[in-house]
Amino acid sequence: MPTALELVNALLDDDAVARSLGITLGAVEAGRVEIRMPVAAAMVNGHGLVHGGYLFLLADTALAFCCASLDKPSVTRAADIAFLAPAREHDTLVATAAVRADAGRATIIDVRITSGETVLAEFRGHGAATR
């Protein structure tokens, strides 16, 4: 049986979007995943801040990887995000995802996005297993 790291690495290998944005894996264990994404100039909006869509994308990716760590490939069925502080060009965003509920084909994953010690966003997503 593959390890959580092997399962998540396999998903990352198949995720062209994550790879194109420079998303990398940090700590991985079953039900908990950390990923990182560097902020590039193209991610910054007219206010000089990272567009919230990139934070959502990072959290959504962390949800998918967290579900994969359980050998439960999933898509996001619903999600909510609260933006708490801005990110800027050259920051490194860290998304830490953890399973809060696992009920058959349904999971609830919480994701915290930080840059350094600053909490940028809190995300709660509902995953639906694809198999």
User: Three-state SS for 101?
Assistant: strand
Q: Which residue has the higher pLDDT, 118 or 131?
A: 118
Number of independent structural domains in the chain? 1
- Give the separation between CA 79 and CA 123, rounded to whole angstroms: 7
Domain with 45, as residue range(s), is 4-129
- Give the separation between CA 119 and CA 116, rounded to whole angstroms: 8
CATH number of 88's domain: 3.10.129.10
Residues 6+ apart with CB under 8 A from 96: 32, 33, 34, 62, 111, 112, 114
Cβ atoms of 37 and 93 within 8 Å: the answer is yes
Instruction: Indicate if the pLDDT at residue 131 is higher than 90.
Output: no
Instruction: Indicate if the pLDDT at residue 32 is higher than 90.
Output: yes
Residue 1: which pLDDT band, with cuts at 50, 70 and 90? confident
Residue 113: which pLDDT band, with cuts at 50, 70 and 90? very high
